[in-house]
Amino acid sequence: MFAIIPLLFLIPSISTLFMTARQDSVPYSFFTEQLREGNVQSITVQEETVTGILNREVTYQNQPIREFETYIPQSVSGEYLDRINQEGVEVNTLPTPDTSGLAILLNLLPFAIMIWIFVRMSRAMRQQGGGMQGMFSVGKSKAKKFQKSDSDTTFGDVAGADSAKVELQEVVDFLRNPERYQQMGAEIPHGVLMVGPPGSGKTLIARAVAGEADVPFYSISGSDFVEMFVGVGASRVRDLFKDARGSSPAIVFIDEIDSIGRQRGAGLGGGHDEREQTLNQLLSEMDGFDKTETVIVLAATNRPDVLDPALLRPGRFDRRITVPAPAVRDREAILKIHAARRPMEEDVDIDAIARSTAGFSGADLANLLNEASLMAARARHTKVSYEDILAARDKIVLGLERSGVVMSDEERRTVAYHEAGHALVAVHVPQAEPVHKVTIIPRERAMGLTEQLPEGDKYLYRRDYITDRLAVMMGGRAAEAEVIGEITSGAASDLKQSYSIARQMVLEWGMSERFGNVAFGSGEREVFLGSELGHQRQYSDSTAREIDDEVREILNEAYSRAVEIVQTKREGLDKLASALLEKEQVTREQVEELLGVH
C-alpha cells in the first residue's frame, strides 16, 4: 500500500500528456514555407495547434511528410485567416474543449487516495485496539497488563509441576517481601526460563504466577515484538521495560521467547536483521546498570537449544526451570482437576486412565476429557462414563473409526492374525507390558491395534526390556509369514519403529555386543541454525557398515524370537485370531483366557 503513494504524485502530470507534441510535428517555419509554395491542402486549428494535409508529399529531415502538425505562436488573427483563404486553403476550426473539470479531478485524485489510505489504516489500528493514534504508536509495547484481581488461576489449579511451583512461589514471595531476602544478602533474580515440551503447562504456570503475585504482571508473546518496520521490535522492548519499571516491582512474561532469542549470526547469511536488533535490546534491558529495580522476566520455550548463549547466562536468566511431561501420578492429579469440572460416573477409574495415557501432556489430558464430554453429550448421557473416556483416547491416538472401509475376508483374516501375533508375543515374553486390548476395527491411522498399558512410568530401559519390545513389534510380521504364507505392507509402522529403536541401541545406548560401551551419537546437527549445511556423522564409512550390520542382526534376532513363539504357540494364535474375526475386539481378560495365561 505504501508503495502506491510515490506514484500518486505522478497523476497531475497526466493532464499534460494530452497536450504533448506528437513525434511527427514540424516547425512553424516549415508550415509557412509550404503555405507560400501552395502545398497546403487543408488545416485544422485548435487553440495553438494546427494540423493539416499537404497537396504533395515532401521530405523533411529524411522523413516523408504528407500530414503534419505544428503550433501557432499566438491565436490566429482574422487577417491571417484571410491570407490563408486567399491561397485557396480550406480552413477548419474546432471549439476549444473544456478540460478544466478533468484537470481539477486529476489534481485532487492523489489527495483523495491518500485520505482513503489514512482512513483504512486508522480503522485497522482501531480494530487492533490502537485507536486513531495507533498508526503513530507502532513502537509501543503490545504487552497486556494484569493485576492480581485480573486472573483467577492460582498454583492450586496447576498439577504435576511441583518443583516449578516451588521455584516460582519463591519468586512471588521475593516480590512481596523483598526485605526478608535482602537482609540475607540475596539479590532478586533477573530472569526465570521455563523449559518443557509443548502442552506441559508453561503458560498455565505463568497465569498462576499472575494470580498469585500481588504485583503488576505484563504478558506478551515473542512474536509480538517484531514487525515489518525496522527498529519496531527494539522500540517495543524499551517501552515494555519502561512500563514495567514504572510499576516496579513487576513481572514480565515472554511466551515463546525462542522467536526473538535465537542464536545471533545463525543461518547462511548471518546478518544484522530486525530480530537480532530486538534481541540485542532485550539483552541490554535485562542486564541494566540499576541493580535496585525489581523487575523479573519470566520466559517460556520448548526449544532452549536454539537460544543465544548471551541470553542464558547468569545475570539475565539466573534460573532455568524444567517443566517435563507429567508422570503417572502427575497425570492422575491433572485428570482429577479437569474431572472435577464435569459430571462423572462413579465407575470412572482415574488411575487406570492415567496409566493408559503415557506420554500425554497436560494439554493432551485436558483435551481427552473434553472429547469424552463431547461424546457423552452426543450420546445423550447425563454423565461422562469410563467408556466415553476410552473412546476419546482411541480417537485421539488412532483417529476416527473408518466405518466406510470394506475389507475382503482374506484381508480381515490377515489383520486378525497380525494383531493376534503382537498379542501372543507380548504375553509370552517376560518384560513386555501387559496387553490391554486387541482390535481389528479400522481407524484413520491403523487397520488394527494391540494396546499395551505400562504398569508405571519408566525412566531407565534395560536391554532385555528393549529386546522384548522389539520381539513384540515383530510378532505381527511373524504371524503373517507363518499362517498366511506371505508378508504384507501392514507391518510398515512396526518395522519403522523397531529400526529406530535398534539404531538407538547401537548409536546412543551402547547396547551392541560388537561395539561395547561406545556411543556414536545420532550425528545430527540443527541444520536450521546454519551451523552445518547437512547432517554429519562422527564415524567412518566402514564403521557405518558395521553399524548397519549390527542393527540388522538385532532386528533379525527379534524376528527369530517372534517366529519361535508363533510356531510353538500356534493353537493360542488361532484361538485369538478367531475371536477377533468374530468380535472385532477383545479385552485383556479375554486374551488371557484364550491363551491360557493369568
pLDDT tens per residue, range 59-102? 888 888 888 888 776 556 656 656 665 666 665 555 555 555 66
Q: What pLDDT was estimated at residue 528? A: 44
Residue type at position 518 = V
More confidently predicted of 430 and 1 = 430
Please tell me the predicted confidence (pLDDT) of residue 464: 94
Contacts of 53 (CB under 8 A, 6+ apart): 40, 41, 42, 43, 66, 67, 68
Residues 241, 244, 247, CA angle at the centre, nearest 5°?
Answer: 150
CA–CA distances in Å: residue 549 to residues 287, 427, 528, 543 = 53, 29, 31, 10
- The residue-averaged pLDDT of 315-322 equals 85
Active-site hit among 274, 276, 332, 419 = 419
* Residue with grid cell 534376532, as numbered in its chain: 557
| Mean of per-residue pLDDT scores for the chain | 80
The closest of 523, 521, 505 to 513, measured between CA atoms, is: 505
Q: Which three cell numbers stand for residue 235?
A: 522500540
State yes or no: pLDDT of 568 exceeds 80: yes
Assigned C-alpha cell, 283 = 539483552
Distance, CA of 297 to CA of 285 (rounded, Å): 10
- Residue 419 catalytic? yes
Q: Which three cell numbers stand for residue 67?
A: 500530414
Q: pTM, whole model, 2 decimals?
A: 0.67
Least confident range from 266-275, 379-388, 428-437: namely 266-275
Are 365 and 338 spatial neighbours (Cβ–Cβ below 8 Å)?
yes
CA atoms of 329 and 378, how far apart (whole Å) = 31
Q: CB under 8 Å to 296, separation ≥6 — which residues?
A: 171, 175, 188, 189, 190, 191, 192, 249, 250, 251, 252
Cell numbers 473409526 correspond to 401
**Does the pLDDT at position 594 exceed 80?**
yes
Is there a contact between 49 and 97 (Cβ–Cβ < 8 Å)? no
Question: Which of the 8 DSSP states describes residue 450?
Answer: E
Q: Confidence band (pLDDT; 50, 70, 90) for 422?
A: very high
Gap between the Cα atoms of 560 and 475, Å rounded? 10
Q: pLDDT, tens digit, for every residue of 251-297?
A: 888 888 888 888 876 654 444 577 788 888 888 888 764 555 678 88
Give pLDDT, residue 93.
Answer: 54
Q: What is the dihedral of CA 14, 19, 21, 26, to 10 degrees?
A: 180
Map residue 70 onto helix, strand or coil. strand
Q: Is the Cβ–Cβ distance between 464 and 447 less than 8 Å?
A: no
The Cβ of residue 413 has, within 10 Å, a number of other Cβ atoms equal to 18
Q: Look up residue 399 and give its three cell numbers.
A: 483417529
pLDDT band at 438 (very low <50, low <70, confident <90, very high): very high
H helix runs in 461-491, sequence order: 463-479
Measured distance CA(110)–CA(113) in Å, rounded: 5
Query: How far is residue 91's CA from residue 366's CA, in Å, rounded to a whole number?
Result: 92
What is the rounded CA–CA span in Å between residue 490 and residue 507?
Answer: 28
Mean pLDDT of 329-347: 89
Measured distance CA(464)–CA(456) in Å, rounded: 17
Whole-number pLDDT of residue 475: 95
| pLDDT value of position 136 | 47
Q: Cα separation of 267 and 530, whole Å? A: 4
Average pLDDT over residues 398-427: 87
User: Closest Cα to residue 105, out of 37, 15, 41, 166?
Assistant: 15
pLDDT of residue 20: 45
pLDDT (0 to 100) of residue 80 = 66
**How far, in Å, CA of 474 to CA of 472, rounded?**
5
**How crowded is residue 505: how many other Cβ atoms within 10 Å of its Cβ?**
20
Query: What does R_g of the chain's alpha carbons equal in angstroms?
Result: 40
167 or 20, higher pLDDT: 167
95's grid cell: 471549439
Residue 89 grid coordinates: 486553403
SS3 154: coil
